[in-house]
Amino acid sequence: MSTTVDLNQLIEAHRANYAVFQARTEKAIRESIYKALQASPYVSLYYSVDEFGLLGQVAYDPQAKQDLEGVVDELELSPAEIMQYFSRDLQIGELESQNTPLPAAFRHILTENKCEKFAIIPVVQDVTVLAVLVLGARPGQVINEESLDPLVRLCETIPLVLENVKAGVAMKHRLRELEAISEASEAISSSNDLAELYKLIHKQIQDALGIVNFSIALYEPENKTIELPYVYDMDKVTSRPPYPLGQGLISILIKTHQPLLLVDDTDERIRALGVRITDEPAKSWLGCPLVVGGEVIGALIVQDLKKEKRFTQADLRLIISFSAQVAGAINNIRLLENSRLRALQLQTVAEISREVSGSLIVDNLLLQAVDLVRNRLDFYHAAVFLLDQSGEYAVIREATGEAGAQMKRAGHKLGVGSKSIVGQVTQGKTPLVVNEIANDPNYYANPLLPETRAEACLPLKIGERVLGVIDVQSDRAYVFTEENIKILQILADQLAVAVVNSELFAEAQERLSQHRLLHHVTTAAASSTTIEEALNSAVQGLQVTLGGDQISILMADKDQKTLEVRSTVGYANEESARLKIPFGVGITGWVAAHRQAQRINDVTKDSRYIAVNPKARSELAIPLIYRNEVLGILNVESTRVNAYSENEEEMLGTLAGSLAAIIAHQRLLEQFRQQVERERLLYDITSKIRRTTNPEKILSITADEISKVLSTRRAQIEVNMQSDESREASPASNQADGQ
């Protein structure tokens, strides 16, 4: 009977897996996975991976035939932790084992549901973990590779289905783009009147992007002026007179011959471009030049004045396509055909660029790029090399085929400036093409790629910085033409931008995390009631931000021109807490005297350093300045050489400004409290004096209260009651012992 039950469960599991395979939308995939796990005999937890960790999708109890209650929806895990727990193949183990490779949250859920054993099945695409399936077996349940085979196959199927769904969505989107371009082409080619043509173009843009501000610009090279014959703004169509080249963003399009997409921080980015504009900048701005015969004759511009991120790369591709159509129509029908051909080439590049620039994960980008180069452009082999941190070697990062896999496993690298094509391009910073390797006596042949007959290598370059190269090889000679080299160069530029964006994204995430911590530090310090409490909050929070470095805050005595340590954390000895440093002495004294921050990469090479911590190697000292007065020094030290960068200096400089203001504020508060206390004491003394009219009693009370306030052992009041002629006599007096 048990065999029949197992067989039925197996049949149900395979049916559910097949339903997942047939799913055509992400929603259908999720529903099919849920049904598949309902057919499983085990407690099932299915979580997908997002940027913050794991996101719960399914939590099911087959015994109760219902969803589990009290299960966490989100589990914060870093990418490294996800790889640590879930990057391996099927794992089976005992929950009570001390070496259970399972996050505590999952272990708690399975234990609460009376499970004794567990299994982990990752959902992996290439090297990326997309999701994880955690299963729990109750007492008496068998859980082994055989019983888990349908679920393992399910987890192997999910990435393929997701990729198919993604490809289907991309295809539909691409088809909509092509339909819009086709409709635009048909409408534009049927018009012989410019005014009518402008309206047709506007209609096509509106159909594709919705209602946005739209302009057509024409450039007159003879007098270098730009005219806007068609401007759609605030539901009105107007025109604008010519103005000189050099003003506004359209001038950038005409000068660079390149499209421009600004969708966030437009004000700042416009200033960075060095552009002067008189109107309020749009929140999203997309423009593309109209080019005919290599010469810019105008531009198409779309804007959204209120909404950021209004336009996407797909919109940019669409505008590029429209621009090619419009330029040809304005010039003549003959050139229109040439423009369509160029548009087709740009569409191919744009499609590849979209694939490689849709993510900030570099490994995925490069893998997609080399696959597209080999498959779409029909080349034998493609690889991407990136320079290592030292800049001495180009290390293979991604490559196609078995040869590429072997080189990746071996950590294949080529020296910058070596005789290889990769070495020459990384040093020379310009593309290099060998169209027939048999004719090049210096060509370095790779034994893993015996069929190579031609090779092209292009730098991944931002400005003058070379990040790496894209190396493309063909099994046919003389295959590289000016046309496909241009396409590869555009792709190389896109990859360079993608690599830099990934670096910047990682750096921005790190800086964002630091600034969040600094915000907490500043908030805690600002909410303190005393200067000491504020300083202690600052050094404690800052040590968390910097990861265990030694932190100290020294307060300045402007009268004595000295610095006194008021708060520290991380120092092993107590001498640092009692340290007093004259202005001009040591690194902190120098900072106090010169009012300039100092970042020392190796304090052993700086004669100014006072060796409070013999293990210290790096130091960063920031002056705390408020209203041109040095209030103190924020000082951090590390046991590592070159521990602090410009980013840390900028970050701590911001904190120092806030901390100085907090210190000044706390000083004012303390002065105010002291003043209030003095006035209260004065009021109490006056009230006691007013209760009596006896002069001696008044003097006695006064002397007694003064003694209490000043904490003296004795107070004496002398009153001269004689006339000017008899002042030589002894005056009357009253005295009181102090407290």
Supply the DSSP string of 60-98, one letter for each residue.
EETTTTEEPSS--SEEE--HHHHHHHHSSS-EEEETT-T
pTM of the predicted model, to two decimals?
A: 0.34
Q: 400 and 536 in one domain?
A: no
- Which DSSP symbol is given to 327? H
Q: Is the pLDDT at 3 greater than 50, yes or no?
A: no
Averaged pLDDT of the chain: 79
Compute the average pLDDT of residues 261-274: 86
Please give the pLDDT value at position 286. 93
**Structure-model confidence comparison of residues 200 and 61, the more confident one:** 61
| Between 708 and 444, residue with greater pLDDT | 444
pLDDT digits (tens, 9 = 90+) for 208-224: 788 889 998 888 776 67
E strand or H helix that includes residue 240: strand 236-244
Choose between 616 and 518: higher pLDDT.
Answer: 616
Regarding whether 367 and 333 lie in a shared domain, the answer is no
Examine the pLDDT at 333 and tell me if it is beyond 70: no
pLDDT at 336: 46
* Percent over 90 (pLDDT), the chain: 17
Say whether pLDDT at 326 is over 90: no
pLDDT at 722 exceeding the cut of 80: no
Query: Is 184 inside a domain boundary?
Result: no
| Residue indicated by tokens 């969803």 | 67
Determine which of 10-24, 283-297, 332-346, 436-450 has the lowest per-residue pLDDT on average.
332-346
pLDDT at position 2: 39
> Would residue 204 count as lying in a domain?
yes
Q: What is the 3-state secondary structure (H, E, C) of 626-673?
A: ECCEEEEEEEEEECCCCCCCHHHHHHHHHHHHHHHHHHHHHHHHHHHH
Report yes or no on 686 lying in a domain.
Answer: no
Distance between CA 168 and CA 25 in Å, rounded?
Answer: 9
Residue 548: pLDDT above 70? no
Domain that holds residue 704: 692-737
Q: Which pLDDT score is estimated for 47?
A: 93
Q: Considering its fold, how many domains does the chain have in total?
A: 5
Measured from the Cβ of residue 445, the count of other Cβ atoms closer than 10 Å reads 10
Is the pLDDT higher at 695 or at 516? Answer: 695
Highest mean pLDDT among 299-308, 367-376, 730-739: 299-308
For residue 287, what pLDDT band results from cuts at 50, 70 and 90? very high
Residue 407 pLDDT level (bands cut at 50, 70, 90): very high
pLDDT at 705 over 80: no
The amino acid present at 193, given as its one-letter code, is D
- What pLDDT score was predicted for residue 318? 82
pLDDT for the residue numbered 729? 47
What mean pLDDT comes out for the span 694-710?
71
Task: Say yes or no: 334 and 368 in one domain.
Answer: no
pLDDT band at 325 (very low <50, low <70, confident <90, very high): confident
Task: Give me 644's structure tokens.
Answer: 């602090």
Instruction: Give the separation between CA 161 and CA 18, rounded to whole angstroms.
Output: 11
Higher pLDDT residue, 686 or 424?
424
Using a pLDDT cut of 70, give the percent of the chain over it. 80
In a shared domain, residues 96 and 43: yes
* Domain final residue, candidates 492, 509, 541: 492
The answer as to whether 681 is a domain residue is no
CA triple 442-446-449, angle to 5 deg: 130
Are 351 and 403 in the same domain? no
Alpha-carbon gap, residue 633 to 595, rounded angstroms = 10
Query: Domain boundary residue among 356, 371, 392?
Result: 356
pLDDT at position 193 over 80: no
At 544, which CATH number? 3.30.450.40
Rounded Cα distance, 321 and 261, in Å: 15
| Tokens found for residue 296 | 């810019």
Query: Tens of pLDDT along 58-72?
Result: 999 988 889 998 888
In a domain? residue 63: yes
351 and 400 assigned to the same domain: no
Mean pLDDT of 345-349: 56
- At 331, the pLDDT band (50, 70, 90 cuts) reads low
> Going by C-beta distance under 8 Å and a sequence separation of 6 or more, which residues neighbour residue 440?
434
Q: Are residues 319 and 368 in the same domain?
A: no
Q: What pLDDT, in 10s, does the model give residues 357-405?
A: 566 667 777 887 888 788 777 789 999 999 987 889 999 999 999 999 9
Q: What is the pLDDT averaged over residues 259-279?
A: 84
Report helix, strand or coil for 734.
Answer: strand
Same domain assignment for residues 337 and 380: no
Same-domain check for residues 231 and 349: yes
Q: What does the pLDDT look like over 38-60, one tens digit per residue?
A: 888 899 999 999 888 999 999 99
- 582 and 621 assigned to the same domain: yes
Higher pLDDT among residues 721 and 497, named by residue: 497
Domain assignment present for residue 680? The answer is no
- In angstroms, what is the C-alpha Rg of the chain? 37
Distance CA 284, CA 260 (A): 11
Question: Which residues fall within 8 angstroms of residue 533, CB to CB, at 6 or more apart?
Answer: none
- Number of other residues whose CB lies within 10 A of the CB of residue 572: 10
Q: How do strand 295-304 and strand 714-719 relate by DSSP bridges?
A: unpaired
Instruction: Look at residue 631 and tell me whether its pLDDT is greater than 80.
Output: yes
Burial call 618-657: b when 16+ CB within 10 Å, e when fewer:
bbbbbbbbbeeebbbbbbbbbeeeebbeeebeebbeebbb
Q: Which residue has the tokens 């020379």?
A: 428
* 182 located within any domain: no
Examine the pLDDT at 585 and tell me if it is beyond 60: yes
User: How large is the average pLDDT for residues 672-693?
Assistant: 71
What is the distance between the alpha carbons of residues 588 and 107, in angstroms, rounded to a whole number? 51
DSSP annotation string for 155-188: HHHHHHHHHHHHHHHHHHHHHHHHHHHHHHHHHH
More confident residue, 389 or 13: 389
pLDDT tens digits, 132-172: 999 999 998 989 988 888 888 888 888 888 888 887 777 77
User: Do 149 and 77 meet the contact criterion of CB atoms below 8 Å apart?
Assistant: no
What pLDDT, on the 0 to 100 scale, is given for residue 738?
Answer: 44
Residue 504 lies in a domain: no
323, 356, 389 - which closes a domain = 356
pLDDT at 435: 81
Q: What is the pLDDT of residue 345?
A: 43
d(CA 246, CA 252): 8
Residue 638 to residues 442, 543, 599, 601, 603, Cα–Cα distance (Å): 49, 11, 12, 10, 10
Q: Tell me the pLDDT band of 356, cut-offs 50, 70 and 90.
A: low
Q: Is 372 left (phi over 0), alpha (psi -120 to 50) or beta?
A: alpha
Residue 117, helix vs strand vs coil: strand
Greater confidence, 242 or 262? 262
Are residues 616 and 533 part of one domain?
Answer: yes
Evaluate whether 619 touches 600 at the Cβ level (below 8 Å): yes
In residues, how long is the chain? 739
**DSSP labels for 367-420?**
HHHHHHHHHHTT-SEEEEEEE-TTSSEEEEEEE-HHHHHHHHHHT-EEETTSSS
Q: Are residues 425 and 313 in the same domain?
A: no
User: Per mean pLDDT, which range of 165-179, 478-492, 633-647 is the poorest?
Assistant: 165-179
What is the distance between the alpha carbons of residues 452 and 448, in angstroms, rounded to a whole number?
Answer: 10
